[in-house]
Amino acid sequence: MKLMKRILGTLLALAVIAVGALYWLGTRDDASTGAAAAPADPQQRLERGRYLALAGNCMACHTARGGQAYAGGTPIPTPFGTIYGPNITPDEKTGIGAWSADDFWQALHNGKSRDGTLLYPAFPYTEYTRVTRADADALFAYLRTITPVSQPSRAPDLDFPYDQRLLLAAWRALYFRPGVQEADPGQSTQWNRGRYLVEGLGHCAACHAPRNSLGATRAADGLAGGLIPMLDWYAPPLTNDPQAGLGRWSAEDIAALLRTGMAAHSSASGPMAEVVLGSTQHLTEEDALAMGVYLKSLPATPVASSRPAVPVSPAAMELGGKIYRQQCAQCHQPQGEGSAGAWPALAGNPTVTAPSPVNAIRIVLDGGFAPATAANPRPHGMPPFGQLLNDNDVAMLVSYIRNSWGNEAGGVTPLEVKRARAASTRN
């Protein structure tokens, strides 16, 4: 009996130590700040902050549709419930008007609010932690110039137990390592700038990296693509896999898509069209190209897919080809080569050849509309075919496109089309 009590006592002590260590790991702060290169001139600093707010696409989560800029209220659906973008105008009672630059840095770098509350990672501090203190201060200075809006931030609407913030300590201990990104001395200044934008302020991993059951991305997975939770859109891989990724693209192609919404191999659609519209079209040519240079340095690792391979019968290819010639070839051309500057190529298009066919299906159903950007103010659009084509027709058409002109992406089932059709009505 005494031995049993000792064993239980030891196990209890170890459990307490483990919980304490986990809590410490999940709540610790990082002291690194990065290079102190903020512009000395106040006006230049504000202009830099305005640029950083655009590059980070801050309005997407902090400005509700029809609402005032940065006043919050945007619903961010997650598998665990809905989180709402907070008010970050300089209103002292409901925004960040009472915050200091140190408080703002704490939120970006350590994922904590002004009072030390752990923030939910729907706010991508997992990527923003890489941002330098100088850039954080410039961004904060710009936000201080926004018109204050008295609008209380809405509390998260999360399922139990995800509404228990204390549990975030364990999540952070497992998946969050705060720290400013240090330059790689073995790479060029351009490459390092591109990595800083892709992995930090641009938070590309928030969409283009697969997530586990707890909503975390893993560095080992890289930018291997993944289904965006709750939106039913697939963010394609940004690796250099020639079929599913950017292997056929140049750095200039990537920069063109970011700044114009159009490139030789594809056009921005769905959530990416919104990113281009609200954020990346405002990048300088140098920054857009730097992102392209960095992405082109990623390995050409083949992208694994959990989706079972769907064979395509010769009959389906024949019928899909007939529909393509009737409905699509006039714009996308008989060999899927597209029309430069107007309609994107389908041959080698990562939207078409992605491991998941959901984007291609939804574009056929709902149409494709590239964003109107300063560099391409009147983009051509694609009409929806969801009313014209039934699920079998769409399945055969998309299967044909995914397996023609050098594409080798496998077939599509009518059931997948049915699910995509239902998802498009929800969203």
How is residue 247 written in tokens?
Answer: 């292997």
- How far apart CA 298 and CA 29 sit, in angstroms, is 30
C-alpha distances (whole Å) from 365 to each of 231, 316, 389, 396, 411 are 16, 19, 8, 13, 17
How is residue 127 written in tokens?
Answer: 């990527």
Helix (H, G, I), strand (E, B) or coil at 184: coil
> Within 13 Å of residue 193, how many CA atoms lie on the same side as its CB?
14
CB 133 within 8 A of CB 83: no
How is residue 346 written in tokens?
Answer: 């389908």
62 has binding-site annotation: yes
CB 271 within 8 A of CB 371: no
Count the Cβ atoms, other than its own, within 10 Å of residue 133: 20
- How far apart CA 105 and CA 132 sit, in angstroms, is 9
61 has binding-site annotation: yes
Residue type at 243 in one-letter notation: Q
CB 125 within 8 A of CB 108: yes
Question: Looking at the DSSP assignment, which residues form a beta bridge with residue 270?
Answer: none
Work out whether the CA dihedral 274, 275, 277, 278 comes out positive or negative.
positive
328 has binding-site annotation: yes
At 299, give phi and psi (nearest 5°): -65, 160
How is residue 383 written in tokens?
Answer: 């009409």
- How far apart CA 29 and CA 111 sit, in angstroms, is 9
Judge residue 229's burial from the number of C-beta atoms within 10 Å of its C-beta, 0-12 exposed, 13-18 middle, 19 or more buried. middle
CB 62 within 8 A of CB 74: yes
CB 223 within 8 A of CB 238: yes
109 has binding-site annotation: no
Count the Cβ atoms, other than its own, within 10 Å of residue 418: 15
Helix 391-401 and helix 314-327, axial crossing angle in degrees, nearest 10: 90
Distance spanning both ends of the chain, measured CA to CA:
62
207 has binding-site annotation: yes
Length of the chain: 427
Residue numbers in the known binding site for heme c are: 58, 61-62, 204, 207-208, 328, 331-332
Residue numbers in the known binding site are: 58, 61-62, 204, 207-208, 328, 331-332
